[in-house]
Homo-oligomer: A and B are copies of this chain.
């Protein structure tokens, strides 16, 4: 990955080669930014790109929106969209829709395009399935002017995430969040090692999808956060801990079924760039959680 310093000193063509896809099908944004180098921070580079978009003629900005691929659309399905978009849509599970879901997206996309004249644009990496569909419904009811601004704001969010993975430098915009946990055994006064943990997303009121699986280490933590290095999709989650197995092993004589076996902590994340530390502090007969730090 090139450093910001590399880019500051590269030929303009190389800058465009590196950053041309930050704004989909719009290398002219990278070109404009190349002309304003050097930048002290990646944030400043992103700012220059944003200003280039904002200073462009209305038609160019509209084209920027129009050129975006639909979510779960025909082009995405046929692989006819930019590689970044493919990965982003896959991260939201949009490449694994059922036929019914695919049809629902097709209908929503058609309605949206009919109403606003450009495809529905959302930084999908920041949304879980339910949130994505909720945003679709909300924005369909918006007025054209507001919606154009909203769509552009989403384009900038997408650009920030892409840029952060393309350039290594100081002042990188914050585009990632974290979900983490730890397990403390308050009957023993020690972290609980070896506890199986699963993170699920509530994709609808009745359905969950596995996001991550881990086992706590000697310090009662997972070796890596359960979500990290990316935005935390806006969603309701459920952390499941097989804490009963821990207490069976450490405190013989508990009843069967035990008072606590699988503990499920449901929590919502509304801030994709936030840190959600959701610990389990438990004895065989009590537990608690909180949003920690």
Contact = CB atoms under 8 A, between A and B. Distances in A.
A234 B186 CA distance: 21
Contacts of A260: 266-268
A145 interface: no
A266 B257 contact: no
Most B CB contacts (10 A, CB to CB) among A186, A256, A269 go to A186
Interface in A262-293: 262-264, 266-271, 281, 283-293
A266 B264 contact: yes
A2 interface: no
Interface stretch (A26-34, A160-168, A187-195): A187-195
A259 B189 contact: yes
Interface in A187-239: 187-191, 219-220, 234-236, 238
A95 interface: no
Given A268-B260, A269-B257, A191 B286 contact: no
B187 A283 contact: yes
Contacts of A287: 288-290
A290 B284 contact: no
Interface in A95-120: none
B288 A261 contact: no
A234 B190 CA distance: 19
Contacts of A293: 182, 184, 190-191, 219-220
B257 A186 contact: no
A264 B188 CA distance: 22
A157 to B, nearest CB: 17
Contact of A283 (B186, B220, B269, B292): B186
What are the 5 closest A-B residue pairs judged by CB atoms, nearest first? A189-B285, A257-B268, A288-B288, A286-B290, A255-B270
